[in-house]
Structure 1
Amino acid sequence: MMLIPKSICVALVSVVLTGLAGCEGLEGARIRDQNSPTVSVRATFRPEVLSRGRSEGGIEVGYERYRANDTQQLGAGQHVDVGTQHISGPDSLHNQVTVQQGHLAYAQRISFGSHFRLEPRLGVSRMGTDLTVEPTVSTQRAQSQRWGTRFFYGITPSWRFNDVLALEARVTGSNGGAMRTYAFDAGLLVSPVPGASLRLGYSERRHTGYVPDSLSELDIRVRGPSASLVFDF
């Protein structure tokens, strides 16, 4: 039986304890914004070959963008690691993030009678996050930018009162790597001309995952007004 020298055991224990000490007090970069407007645009192209009876298939492309701000307090012994920057407390951090997402998906709209519609979708998305963490005490401003491709999915129930007015709710999500997103939108859909609509309402966004090249987790939860241009061809 091979015995491990005592000096090697001591060294291994020291490495483990050092790693645990480094993780102790590690905080995520958190953003909670209750008034973060979201703007978006989407278009769905529905060729006749994808339509049958009360079901209409189509290719959907879309883009959305929102910006959120928050202040995060770091206590003594706490720290945030973003990119190459290590920010230690006590400090007050001003966190700002801009999130953009574009997607391409197959959507299948199913009509139940003349008013209710249900439209699931499945595809891929490309999401970008631009995070800035600016401390008050320290001068170590930290920035992190990331783009990633993710699996995209969602469903949209709607109730049409007539050809001009409808109520719409939209739930979407995306997953890929260490990042997860969830989005909810609800509002009134106004169609002044056939094939073009404006939706005004409320939105909620959640985005969690690890900041690239760092130890801190990015945790975004925002809500606020939303406006969306919707085209259907």
Structure 2
Amino acid sequence: MEGTSFEEVVSEVFSTQMPPPWWLVVATGVAALVLVSTGGPWRLARNVVTIAHEGGHALVALVSGRQLTGIRLHSDTSGVTVSRGRPDGIGMIFTVFAGYVTPSLVGLVGVVFLLGGRITALLWVSVLLLAAMLLMIRNLYGVVSVVGTGALVFVISWFTPAEVQAAFAYFFTWFMLAAGVRPVFELQSQRRRQPSPQSDADQLHRLTGMPGTLWVMVFGAVNLASLALGVWLLWTSADPVL
């Protein structure tokens, strides 16, 4: 980041960058898929998915007119978003539904930024959203998680050259697209091993009468469709020039 005045910084953030070569698009996609498929590294990276998950609950709660009271993120990669309002109705349904589909939808939004050449803008919007979310975090681990993630994105967006920013932005987008799918399978596996009335699928069952397993299938369908669309868009837009 070379700008010194506010106007120069804004201009640089929202300027367009040249698309990276196709091999970088493919390499970052493979790296993201490997990360999602691993054990230990996935457990650490899953904290980012949890941030997006709980952020989705929080955003939809606010949009639907509910009063957001706080967000807690835990070291086991679980999280809780608390809001006040009607305990039923369409607003509550959408609030509960939003969690598992938000990571994949974040990935699709990232694709839109990348296709428009707004690589730095994608990173800065991410930092701003994390800063807004930080205001509602109510536990220490949550603060560390959000601040650490935001600091990493900020350092890359401010101190690294365009090539590094592009690699990170594509990796982040691929990761969110792929990472949205795995928690859905983990949810159903957990429901089989240790049923919990507090899971999002089971809460939706109580709110709508539709079986929790059906809601898991809906989560999976939305996330797989988002992944397929994101892969197609990124692949077809990749620059074939080495």
What's the TM-score, normalizing by structure 2?
Answer: 0.19
Between 1 and 2, higher relative CO (CA 8 Å, sep ≥ 6) is seen in: 2
| Rg larger for | 1
